[in-house]
Structure formats: C-alpha cells, structure tokens
Chains A and B, each alone.
Chain A
Amino acid sequence: KNEVEQSPQNLTAQEGEFITINCSYSVGISALHWLQQHPGGGIVSLFMLSSGKKKHGRLIATINIQEKHSSLHITASHPRDSAVYICAVGGGLQGAQKLVFGQGTRLTINP
C-alpha cells in the first residue's frame, strides 16, 4: 500500500514569493500527479510526470524516482494561486490506474 505524504500542510506567503510544496511516497510508482483543488471543491490536473521536470507557465514540477520524492514550485506567486495542492501517485492492477492521494497543502497567497 502506497503512503503519500505532503509538506507543509498549510503555507501562507506574500504575493511574488517563490513557493515549494513537497511530496514523498513509499512504493515505486508509474506516475505522479499534481492536482489543484479550488475552494468550491473542483479538482484540476496540473501535471503528470514519471521522471525529470515539467513546466507550465509559473508552475514547475520535479520528480526524483530514486528518492521517491516530488516537488511543485510556483514562481512569482499570485493571490489567484491560493488553493489546495494535492499530490497523487498512480498504481494499481492492470486496466485503469487508481490514484492514491496525499492530504493536500493549503496555499494562501496574500496581496
């Protein structure tokens, strides 16, 4: 059973700051997902990665497979980045791939 741990659980920062959220998992995986959950509850997929690094706008995600660790970075943070960021790892049997979720990091960016 894969355990997914995120840190920090809560993060408050000022607009413009560089943000890092960390994720560790216990068992080898096929892919790691970073998701954003808005205050209304909706979930949006930000990244799926199995190695290296991906960048989309001000967001960067990295993964170290050997260390079973991933980070999500936000550059030049903005109040609209305020949300819960969730790390999830893919696994499971043949067929559809289930996700195992971390507990989320609640990010608040103050103007």
Chain B
Amino acid sequence: EPEVTQTPSHQVTQMGQEVILRCVPISNHLYFYWYRQILGQKVEFLVSFYNNEISEKSEIFDDQFSVERPDGSNFTLKIRSTKLEDSAMYFCASSSDRENTQYFGPGTRLTVL
C-alpha cells in the first residue's frame, strides 16, 4: 500500500541553524500539507500546497518557514534560524483530492538545543 515517507525520523540541531525536513507524498496525490505537534499539545496546521503554490498558511508559518516541491516527488519544509520553540513533531500529509482523506507520514521529531 502506498504511504507517505518522511526523513529524517529525528533531527537534532542547534538554535539558529537551518533545517530541511523532507517528505515524499503518495505518488498520484496533488495536495500536500505540513502540520506540527509540540509535545503534549494538539496537532496544528502549518501550510497547505497545491498546484505548485501555497494554498493557505497559518499564523505560525512566518518568514522563518518555507516549502518547496523541488523535483515533482519530494515536498520539503525549511526552517531558517531555528528557535527552541520549534522543537516539535512535524507531520507531512498528502491527499488525492481536496475533499479526500489525508494520509500522514510517520513524522520527523525536531529537537532544537
């Protein structure tokens, strides 16, 4: 069964460093999402992406964040100049249609020291 994959599974970085979280969505999916979950809190929407552009972004998704679909298969989330409060589990998801089920990747646990 097709699945969304994410790498790395765990990333440790120093405050102020840049990180890139990578996702490979399901191959025929057209809608892509990044969510995050700070430990002990609810899952939060970061950004959605369709037709090679951002559809919507949350107030969390400020200039520190960017997304790309560089090669038609990968979907990346870049965090510039990481802060301690960026420590969280980051989930990528994809869906075949706007109204369809979103399939989640296993997550990348980001720890900022």
Contact = CB atoms under 8 A, between A and B. Distances in A.
Contacts of B24: none
Contacts of A99: 33, 35, 43, 45, 102
A12 interface: no
A99 B51 CA distance: 19
Contacts of B100: 48
A90 B99 CA distance: 8
Contacts, number: 77
Contact of A95 (B45, B48, B89, B102): B48
Contact of A96 (B41, B42, B49, B104): B49
A92 B56 CA distance: 8
Interface of A: 30-31, 33, 35, 40-45, 48, 86, 88, 90, 92-104
Interface of B: 31-33, 35, 37, 41-45, 48-51, 55-56, 58, 89, 91, 95, 98-104, 106-107, 109
